[in-house]
Amino acid sequence: MKIVVHNDSARRWCAALEDAFPHAAVVTSDAPAEARQNADYLAVWKPPEWLLAEQTRLKGIVNLGAGVDALLATPGLPDNVPVVKLRDAGMASPMADYVLYGVLHFYRSFDAYVRLQSDARWAPRPVPDKADWPVGVLGLGAIGAHVAQTLSGAGFPVMGWSRTAKDIDGVDCHHGDAGLDAVLGRARTLVTLLPDTDDTRGLMDAGRLAQLPEGATLINPGRGALIDEAALLEALGDDATPGHLRGALLDVFATEPLPADNPLWQHPRVTVTPHTSAPTPLGGAIDQVIDYLRAFEAGEPVSTVNPAAGY
Ligand code: NDP
């Protein structure tokens, strides 16, 4: 069995896979061509086009992350090879921390206090009842469902939205267009944890941002393409003319790294983090990757990515 690994820490991944499969040839994508060609499996994050093009007998591709948008968009991705992706694999917990921090940031007015402190102003803000702070979570997958339940456990009323109907303890689950309207109409904080697909790209456009209640806040750790950035800036307004939305915490962007001249960097009510809400932990992910490879080799069923749905 030959496995080729391509990501930022490929050597560490190779060492872990060699331990699990002592008889396999495990190489990084910068190995000589003859060593990396004719692989049985690719374990990759954002693989270069040539790495896919030179393979002739792949049995499976493991995406070393939860989002498969970059992989599915890579030209030359064979359509007859099953693709699997990381499902939680240790990402749901740090993501829940990030989102809970974000919700509390707005709910407890830390965004306002940062600005008041810069003017040395002592101006206590009311602490609303949590029951009056419904949070909407778009995307109830391996990560989104855990985030929704964490927020619910912290005492916030949580509404969730997914493509298919769901039943999750402590979460008021919705789906379909009417379901989205119901979530957007009430969410004081909206969390977007959807994959980037043909159906979700640009979902939060000017019209949908306007559906959020006055003073609502947005947290996007999903994908930049979910939000129409120009519409978001419009909805936030500026200090002279504040808009409909109070603030945003953004981890992902249409262009990454976020260009230095992007106005989101300078916006007083936007917090930017550099796509770091839930990094892939080697420890959590390696066991899942090993399980996938063993299942492929044994011909056992694995839950594969649906290229038509895009996730
Ligand atoms: P999953 O694939 O497990 O779940 C995706 C969820 O989105 C599902 O609930 C799915 O619905 C829902 N969904 C997909 N398409 C639609 C649609 N058209 N309408 C409504 N709902 C839809 O993904 P994860 O939870 O693992 O991750 C979600 C995303 O988070 C990833 O795709 C990635 O983009 C992002 N991410 C970001 C990270 C970061 O560091 N910033 C780290 C990890 C992930 P259904 O349940 O019905 O299938």
pLDDT in tens, 46-103: 999 999 999 999 999 999 999 999 999 999 999 999 999 999 999 999 999 999 999 9
3-state secondary structure of 231: helix
Tell which residue, 76, 83, 38, has the closest CA to residue 57: 38
Question: What ligand 1 atom has the least distance to the C-alpha of 65?
Answer: 43
| Interval between CA 113 and ligand 1 midpoint (Å) | 33
Residues of each domain in the chain carrying CATH 3.40.50.720: 2-89+280-298, 92-272
Distance in angstroms between the alpha carbons of the first and the last residue of the chain: 27
Ligand 1 contacts CB of residue 67 (under 6 A)? yes
Residue stretches of the chain with pLDDT short of 70: none
Q: What is the CATH number of domain 2-89+280-298?
A: 3.40.50.720
| Interval between CA 148 and ligand 1 midpoint (Å) | 13
**Cα angle 87, 91, 92; round to 5:** 85
Strands (E), 76-134: 83-85
User: What predicted TM-score, i.e. pTM, was given to this entire model?
Assistant: 0.97
Tell which residue, 143, 160, 132, 136, has the closest CA to residue 97: 143
pLDDT at 311: 98
DSSP character at residue 213: P
Catalytic residues: 223, 275
Looking at 3.40.50.720, 3.40.190.10, 3.10.28.10, 3.40.47.10, the CATH number of the domain 92-272 comes to 3.40.50.720
